[in-house]
Structure 1
């Protein structure tokens, strides 16, 4: 396997430099706007379109901001055009029904290929093919969201759009060596849960093995991003996204290359860091790594204090991430087998088997009867169960007895009137109870079905889709997340208001409606 990791080292190196981000373009002005809360949402400014060249705006700010009576909001309004919501003008036709709404939303949330000649200073990274955005404040493509959106596109027979989105991700991998969190300059320091392989496999289910071969190169290069410099990581240490356990086993963690506050949540991060005992760089990296996980934020990432100030994301080997990379290794093995390259196929089969053994050994908690994250520093499994524990079922790593225990705990502890709670901890964080999210419902349903638990799978699907449909009939909206404990209340928590749209909710809902038709009678 040594040559495989040398390949990772070579292919993962030398990523192209990205466009400058807003903080780099507007030193001083950026901090003033974000810390001054000129906009209610910190993402507004970093998404705004500059009306003059960035250098001219920065020069004007330096010349004007010390003058008596300077109005920062007026200056921002004069030099930037603030963005609107992704589907801001759309009005739902509730009487037409949920399926009509879902079909219409694909058009509402679709974006054409971006103009490569964007205004100077735009934070958008242009994509060469059409894509779907989630909705609301999320005006760009998001990596792991897109897999769950694609589930609905496949059900809607919009395979051309699935191919376009895959080609966009392949383009981003070719340009940066990985898929960024989203196609914005301020996201170019981190990725998200690596669902590219799952996307490729999804299209291959319809179009055959040629799809696997078509995307082999970007699939390999993304894998190399996650395994970069693996050969140089000493036992018991970590470097970037790679963790080498004391016995030499290689696993992965979520990672962000930056140690600065997130640009899109700058004021929030600066304020939160002041409450933490961690050095600023360490705290910001842990916060950014949690953003890379997609679970921003959750008690899952917190230390014994149970607060954001104690966040320890980079100390954890996440069970979900390593299941996804296990799937990637399996797919790469298959692509090489299709090409008749038995040696390379065997390398990746071996890597997948080693990763599976490590996940079963480190992430299974017999005390909890559950799969959890593993703290590589303390060499102990995390004490709290979260819905990330369904990934080993969804991707086939779990043993049959483990799957039975997970199913029992799902039904006893996680199952609520509206579906599965994200964690068993009720906090003000949006990735905790009482909130629930479409991707985790779908993964749980798939895992339960895979391990012969059809009744519970149907119950989860039924409760989730019924909640989605009822909220739509009452409000005309499908939402980013839902309160599954008290289904009459909205989901809360997080750094921004509840968003509607919503790409991954739409995709999962249509998939479950089609595969569990009894879940929403009459729909």
Structure 2
């Protein structure tokens, strides 16, 4: 990045309107609770994304003045005072015969949002540059989604958007100290799987920027995840950090709030009512589950019932591998900057984390990496596709990689790709669904160790995506993968209907189409319209 470009980006960031970080619940108080619990909108995310038609304080005053009247109509009041977000059932209709590759290339502009379109007094957190959203109800930037989306932007030659998004993520870290779950005020209290280190590698590999330019941002993100770690003693916890009995520190998912998620307020209240625990504890666990990106999954629960969720009691394989990668990346960049003491410090931290992962998360009996329940002092027995993450970051030994691949093949490989978990709970991050980011990490991880199963997973996934595209002319958020790829279906379960778009499916598929030019998915064409 030239000095002139850097100055232009800094000037652009300086012009971003100072964000009002009040969340909709903070701003609208009892009006917010009334709207969400009365289910004025079928989707709880609709109201938190609404734009007020006048000053929010005036709206709240008007509500308080009228809400006790016998003829007060809450729905009518809300529709009069708020503009609803426009949610497209399908963002883009392929012309008949359009190839899957061209469909994805055409979608990037459809899914791009522009800073000048950010309305005042809404929940959106302004950004300095254009960015790509997933699609459907997800009309904002999401953290870990964006890395997998970027893989496709790169293959489509959209380095303009890569550069814009690089600076957006740097801006978020500079402004808020971390990358929020998404650029909404109600997402500020949590992050998502920390993949900025992978983004930075991609930016440098494609000539978008030099990785070393983002060293301060990587350090700042690391400090967010490790906040309070240095004061912990064995058995202590603080936010994302857990200090184990031997003094090793590993990380968990966390959210700084313990109230219902604002975008799913009613659902969380009803979930907490089914639990014997204090409601605020359940709310924290639900929020931490959302921070994991796996929202929701039996992975975080005692069984299939979401009211048993215990996310903060679990040390996840994937999170700790991502933080290992972050420590390694900071070490490498410190060396490049001739900051040798800092490099040695982060090399030691990565070494200690790796040792703790080997000791607690590698399970010899399962022949795979399993999450660890630090409260109960034992492994979580369920195998999930997160077990591939140590291969993705290059932490596993050759033997561990081979054994993990065999376990995933025996227990999670399905006709349509790699499964998410072995339990069918009704949650979307469970059987029978498959997700693009999980395919990608498994494929890349196995390739790192020369394991042939990588290509098999890629081919099965492409067949699934291509089959649905030929029939329905679209890509979706998740897929049922227990069927043969020729009979692919969009996934289900969870809190909301299946979404079209879709950012990370587009990104991973576009990259795999390039890497497998002879795969039949390259010949997939949009269906004729009836």
1:4-43 alignment, distance < 5 Å: 19-43=21-45
Distance 2:233 2:517 in 1: 52
Per the TM alignment, residue 352 of structure 1 is displaced from its structure 2 partner at its CA by 0.8
- Greater mean alpha carbon deviation, residues 501-510 or residues 162-171: 162-171
Residue 73 (structure 1) aligns with: 75
Distance 2:389 2:185 in 1: 30
Distance 2:488 2:169 in 1: 38
The question of whether the paired residues in 1 share the 8 Å contact of 2:251 and 2:319 is answered with yes
> Do the aligned partners of residues 419 and 88 (structure 1) sit closer, same or farther apart at CA in structure 2, a change above 3 Å counting?
closer
Per the TM alignment, residue 113 of structure 1 is displaced from its structure 2 partner at its CA by 2.3
Is 1:142 matched with 2:139? no
Distance 2:460 2:182 in 1: 31
Distance 2:192 2:521 in 1: 36
Distance 2:92 2:189 in 1: 33
Per the TM alignment, residue 518 of structure 1 is displaced from its structure 2 partner at its CA by 3.2
Is 1:276 matched with 2:275? yes
Structure 1 residue ranges, 4+ long, deviating more than 4 angstroms after superposition: 86-89
Q: 2:480 aligns with which of 480, 483, 492?
A: 483
> Do the aligned partners of residues 153 and 375 (structure 1) sit closer, same or farther apart at CA in structure 2, a change above 3 Å counting?
same
Per the TM alignment, residue 99 of structure 1 is displaced from its structure 2 partner at its CA by 1.1
> Do the aligned partners of residues 470 and 316 (structure 1) sit closer, same or farther apart at CA in structure 2, a change above 3 Å counting?
same
Is 1:291 matched with 2:293? no
Residue 91 (structure 1) aligns with: 93
Q: 1:225-280: CA deviations, max 9, x gaps?
A: 00111111221221100111111111111000000000000000000000011111
In structure 1, stretches of 5+ residues that fail to align are 1-15
Distance 1:522 1:183 in 2: 34
Q: Secondary structure at the match of 2:490?
A: coil
Residue 119 (structure 1) aligns with: 120
Residue 374 (structure 1) aligns with: 372
Residue 498 (structure 1) aligns with: 498
1:186-265 alignment, distance < 5 Å: 186-207=186-207, 211-265=210-264
The question of whether the paired residues in 2 share the 8 Å contact of 1:461 and 1:519 is answered with no
The alignment's TM-score, normalised by the length of structure 1, stands at: 0.94
The question of whether the paired residues in 1 share the 8 Å contact of 2:418 and 2:481 is answered with yes
The question of whether the paired residues in 2 share the 8 Å contact of 1:463 and 1:519 is answered with no
Distance 2:106 2:313 in 1: 43
- Across the aligned residues of Structure 1 and Structure 2, the Cα RMSD in angstroms comes to 1.5
- Greater mean alpha carbon deviation, residues 85-94 or residues 321-330: 85-94
Residue 462 (structure 2) aligns with: 465
1:321-336 alignment, distance < 5 Å: 321-336=319-334
Q: Secondary structure at the match of 1:127?
A: coil
Distance 1:58 1:127 in 2: 27
Distance 2:263 2:66 in 1: 25
> Do the aligned partners of residues 518 and 278 (structure 1) sit closer, same or farther apart at CA in structure 2, a change above 3 Å counting?
farther
Distance 1:520 1:327 in 2: 34
Per the TM alignment, residue 341 of structure 1 is displaced from its structure 2 partner at its CA by 1.4
Q: 1:89-123: CA deviations, max 9, x gaps?
A: 5322241111110010001001122467x322x00
Q: Secondary structure at the match of 1:147?
A: helix
Distance 1:370 1:146 in 2: 28
Distance 2:297 2:304 in 1: 10
1:288-437 alignment, distance < 5 Å: 288-303=287-302, 305-437=303-435
Is 1:161 matched with 2:158? no
Q: Secondary structure at the match of 2:206?
A: helix
Distance 1:102 1:126 in 2: 26
Distance 2:222 2:234 in 1: 21
> Do the aligned partners of residues 331 and 190 (structure 1) sit closer, same or farther apart at CA in structure 2, a change above 3 Å counting?
same
The question of whether the paired residues in 2 share the 8 Å contact of 1:123 and 1:184 is answered with yes
- Greater mean alpha carbon deviation, residues 461-470 or residues 262-271: 461-470
Q: 1:310-335: CA deviations, max 9, x gaps?
A: 11100011110011011111110111
The question of whether the paired residues in 2 share the 8 Å contact of 1:513 and 1:520 is answered with no
Distance 1:148 1:41 in 2: 26
Residue 185 (structure 1) aligns with: 185
Per the TM alignment, residue 86 of structure 1 is displaced from its structure 2 partner at its CA by 5.6
The question of whether the paired residues in 2 share the 8 Å contact of 1:87 and 1:501 is answered with no
Per the TM alignment, residue 87 of structure 1 is displaced from its structure 2 partner at its CA by 7.3
Per the TM alignment, residue 519 of structure 1 is displaced from its structure 2 partner at its CA by 3.0
The question of whether the paired residues in 1 share the 8 Å contact of 2:166 and 2:203 is answered with no
The question of whether the paired residues in 2 share the 8 Å contact of 1:458 and 1:519 is answered with no
In structure 2, stretches of 5+ residues that fail to align are 1-17, 524-530
Q: Secondary structure at the match of 1:215?
A: helix
Residues matched between the structures, number = 503
Q: 1:60 aligns with which of 55, 59, 62?
A: 62
The question of whether the paired residues in 1 share the 8 Å contact of 2:91 and 2:136 is answered with no
Q: Secondary structure at the match of 1:517?
A: coil
Q: Secondary structure at the match of 1:152?
A: helix
Is 1:128 matched with 2:147? no
Q: Secondary structure at the match of 1:243?
A: strand
The alignment's TM-score, normalised by the length of structure 2, stands at: 0.93
